[in-house]
Amino acid sequence: MPFLKSLPENAGPPNVFKQYKEIYGPFSEMSQALMNGRSPLSPAERELILAYAAGVSGNGFVFTGHSEVAYAWGYERGLLDRLVEDVDSAPVEEKLKPLLHFVRKLMLSPTEMAQADADAVFAAGWDEAALHSAIAVAGRAAFMHRLVAGCGFEPLDPEVAARHAKKRVEKGYVNLYSAFRKTEG
């Protein structure tokens, strides 16, 4: 049962988004730009990073939801569990691994970040724009972790998450919610 009694018993983030449109309308637009806009990282890679950041920080709700989005983008089912367990042995592009190590440290011990962490990402061939994308995506994961935990949402059903993931890939982060859809005009 959510901590906010104005929400239905089975509430999740969309309920909060609809209740506080003035906050989450702009947040959805930012999320669309962050996750599907210009970046050296593909939308699929950004979803992988978001789910991974949520997984390493212990946010099962966001991990489940965004793992399903990464799978809807074409990643192999189960990959995110393997990444959270051990990036180095997981079957992802070698170039992604330093970026994922950076994100892990950022999520678990942000005050210990150092130039060497960024340098490892650059040495793998990523530029500043890619690193910034990964940092911002990790920040979004952290924000959603606080929102979900603070509102007291129940764990997300993986089947429901899989259905919503397909819609997120098709519609993005703004048009997914009827309250924020952009109309042609």
Distance (Å, rounded) from C-alpha 2 to C-alpha 172?
A: 26
Q: Per-residue pLDDT for 3 more than 60? A: yes
Percentage of the chain modeled with pLDDT above 70 = 96
For residue 175, what pLDDT is reported?
77
For residue 174, what pLDDT is reported?
82
Pick left, alpha or beta for residue 177 (phi over 0 → left; psi -120 to 50 → alpha; otherwise beta). Answer: beta
**36-81, pLDDT tens digit by residue?**
999 999 999 999 999 999 999 999 999 999 999 999 999 999 999 9
Centroid of chain to Cα 104: 13
Give all domains of the chain, ordered by start, each with its CATH number.
13-180 (1.20.1290.10)
For residue 181, what pLDDT is reported?
67
